[in-house]
A = this chain, B = another copy of it.
């Protein structure tokens, strides 16, 4: 992280919600500064409006817009559960959206990686707002380029380690097999949390295990408890650099209707947030929140959950910075 990221007065804070109403003004994530407004930054939030990797209901291209819009509602100064004022600790900026073609997965992967690389240069940390889960691959490539291979903590209803879909190698259901094959993931330190739902075959699970993933299924959480789940994750990733990828469909459709491949029987938003808030020691070097498809959302339920997850990621990064 760059030494120079804060000026003498500390980070430039978000717009103050008590002087500018939250329904007015800035359209950045949590109303933090735009990337061009500060000299340097620790963490950049980057929109990746791409959904051509979707296998069922498309629309996550409008995810960045919806998550930013919902994030207006956050009172951004202080996170009481984590006891931190993240924007006092680190400089967070909104880096806007990657201009990305919807017409070619390969071209888009390149556009995302190129753009992300610019923003991440110098070890700055990235948090992406998807977009469908395909975007995690160029994100991982970028993060690994800066920080070396990572342990993946992956919240999702689905494994996303299928081989191909209709001959396409890189889709929202195959990204983590590709990432494993490319050596982006540290073997035996990654895990899926929240998996559930029927599969194309038993072999899906076997393949996943071969790639060194551990899986905490949605039902396992009832057995492990939230504390046990937190412990399982922290033991798995240890102090390794972590990429945290949250597919919003890890939540039950009641909590996240606005997504492309919903699965009944998921987590509540309270469960998800409590697990995230238990990961305070995590060495978080990058992450994403993906698969918010606003056309299926209602009353911003899904995008607000996603915005809150992102705020928690920022706060985890800030907390670790403080300790370090």
Contacts and interface: CB of A to CB of B under 8 A. Distances in A.
Contacts of A59: 57-59, 295
**How many copies of this chain?**
6
A73 B56 contact: yes
A274 B268 CA distance: 15
A295 B295 contact: yes
Contacts of A77: 198-201
A221 B305 CA distance: 20
B299 A297 contact: yes
B75 A198 contact: yes
Contacts of A61: 21, 23-24, 58
A54 interface: yes
Contacts of A27: 27, 65
Contact of A201 (B52, B85, B97, B255): B85
B311 A198 contact: yes
Contact of A103 (B52, B56, B268): B52
Nearest to A256: B254
A258 B254 CA distance: 12
Most buried by B among A222, A226, A311: A222
Interface string A215-234: 00111001000100000000
Interface in A105-129: 105, 107
Contacts of A217: 80-81
Contacts of A253: 255, 269, 299-301, 304-305
Nearest to A79: B198
A280 to B, nearest CB: 14
A294 to B, nearest CB: 10
A96 interface: yes
Given A21-B55, A80-B198, 5 more contacts: A21-B101, A53-B103, A77-B201, A252-B269, A265-B269
Interface of A: 17-25, 27, 47, 49, 51-59, 61-62, 64-65, 69, 73-81, 83, 85, 96-105, 107, 165-168, 171, 196-202, 204-205, 217-219, 222, 226, 252-255, 257-258, 261-270, 273-274, 277, 295-301, 304-305, 308, 311
